[in-house]
Structure 1
Amino acid sequence: MIAYPNVPRSIGAVVSRRLATLVELQTVLGQDDLHDLLEIIVVDSHNERVATEPRN
């Protein structure tokens, strides 16, 4: 995978998932908000993975 060369991975993840814009992260939202949004991404990804796993 290619990384965003000019943007930290955490910010790139939130912006690419459309949970916040770069402007919002730069002006309105703080670091705690960024961490909360990253948590949402992690939990959603886990739940999607579990939901698509074959059941025995």
Structure 2
Amino acid sequence: MAGDQKAKAKAEQAKGKIKETTGRAVGNERMTAEGRMEKAKGDARQAKEKTKDIFKG
């Protein structure tokens, strides 16, 4: 289960980065903001999983 969540975090980070970059390239501030938000969500999920790993081991 933890590996599944880590993969989901990485996917969210990548999707957010792509969306942010695309938004910047086309001048769409809303898309850029949505990309930043998705990337931050992935970062938060990854941090949570790392914290869980620390307390498990």
TM-score of the pair, normalised by structure 2: 0.49
Which protein is richer in helix relative to its size?
2
TM-score of the pair, normalised by structure 1: 0.50
Larger RCO: 1 or 2 (CA < 8 Å, sep 6+): 2
